[in-house]
Chain A
Amino acid sequence: DTEVTQTPKHLVMGMTNKKSLKCEQHMGHRAMYWYKQKAKKPPELMFVYSYEKLSINESVPSRFSPECPNSSLLNLHLHALQPEDSALYLCASSHSDSLNEQFFGPGTRLTVL
């Protein structure tokens, strides 16, 4: 099973709201990733978790807060977002340092009003 799931599929939120995006994989992968994709652009890396520890933060604003509660789950907590944060948020996972093919979830399409 090479499936990464993400919820919700769509999210509309106001600038004062707090919401969370969820990502789950059951492939036994130990690395998980958040990417952000604006329209007609390629995905851009936000965060990398390796063995449940944050290993890369691409200078993402603090209004985005990642969390990895266990090896199967990855959350992205959102607070006080701006309209320019509207985008497709993609989660991915890979096996480990020695086998690093990444598999992507279907994404959450976020609109900030």
Chain B
Amino acid sequence: GIQVEQSPPDLILQEGANSTLRCNFSDSVNNLQWFHQNPWGQLINLFYIPSGTKQNGRLSATTVATERYSLLYISSSQTTDSGVYFCAVEGDTGRRALTFGSGTRLQVQP
């Protein structure tokens, strides 16, 4: 099946700093989503981005499908940005299932 690798695994930032999270995947994809999992376990949709670039406030994401990677940018980080960020992909085999990366655990310190 498709492989998904996220880096870095852990990240500690000071409030106000910027960061870039990376997701590499091993095959062509129909779907790529970025999620933020809060401390209560809720997976919050950040971006649905199988290709191209999107922005939502302080967050933006870019997927370069031909080179099989996606980047999530967090600018002016806040303590509420802390949590685990997951990249999840669905390959283009017709199998309707997301494969998750191992996540990036982000801690933003005041």
Interface residue count for A (Cβ, 8 Å)? 27
- In the bound complex, residues from chain B placing their C-beta under 8 Å from that of A43 are 43, 86, 98, 100
* Dominant secondary structure of chain B at its interface with chain A: strand
**Which parts of A31-62 form the interface with B (CB within 8 Å)?**
31, 33, 37, 41-45, 48, 50, 55-56, 58
A106 and B97 contacting across the interface, CB-CB below 8 Å: no
**A109 touches which of B41, B45, B96, B101 (Cβ 8 Å):** B41
* Dominant secondary structure of chain A at its interface with chain B: strand
Please name the residue on chain B nearest to A46 by beta carbon.
B97
B28 interface residue per 8 A CB criterion? no
Which residues in A have some Cβ–Cβ distance to B below 8 Å? Answer: 2, 31, 33, 37, 41-45, 48, 50, 55-56, 58, 88, 90, 92, 94, 97, 100-104, 106-107, 109
| CB<8 Å pairs between A and B, sample of 15 | A41-B102, A42-B88, A42-B100, A42-B101, A42-B102, A44-B100, A45-B98, A45-B99, A48-B96, A50-B96, A56-B96, A56-B97, A92-B98, A100-B90, A104-B43
